[in-house]
Amino acid sequence: MVLQLNSDNFEQEVLKSDLPVMVDFWAQWCGPCRMLTPTIDALAKEYAGKIKVCKLNVDDANDIAAKYQVMSIPTILLFHKGKIVNQTVGAVPKEKLEEVIKPYI
């Protein structure tokens, strides 16, 4: 299951998580973001219990996007123990995202 993030739950769900957290910064109007959605959903299902997979709509939580200097979307940030350990920009293949998360699971 992909968890929807917002300004209210970001700290608890991401920064205080015991699991690594992959956050997809996206927007409804972004074509590449929509193309990436099936990949994000598949990763959430396949790695359930090992990594938390989340989406954050930059239009609804632009304060969080600004804090992490997200300038282009889709941007995927991987957090581990509250810190960013990897950043990927663009609609990348599932295999690329798996390479990024495997060292942390």
Question: Is 92:38 a contact under the CB 8 Å cutoff?
Answer: no
Instruction: Write down the catalytic residue from 23, 33, 76, 97.
Output: 33
**What does the alpha-carbon distance between residue 30 and residue 58 come to, in Å, rounded to a whole number?**
11
Q: Which of 5, 23, 30, 78 is an active site residue?
A: 30
Instruction: Kindly report whether the peptide bond that precedes residue 74 is cis, defined as omega within 30 degrees of 0.
Output: yes
30 C-beta neighbours (distance < 10 Å), count: 18
CB atoms within 10 A of CB 66: 11
d(Cα 87, Cα 40) in Å, to the nearest integer? 15
Q: Is 54 a catalytic residue?
A: no
Catalytic residue annotation: 30, 33
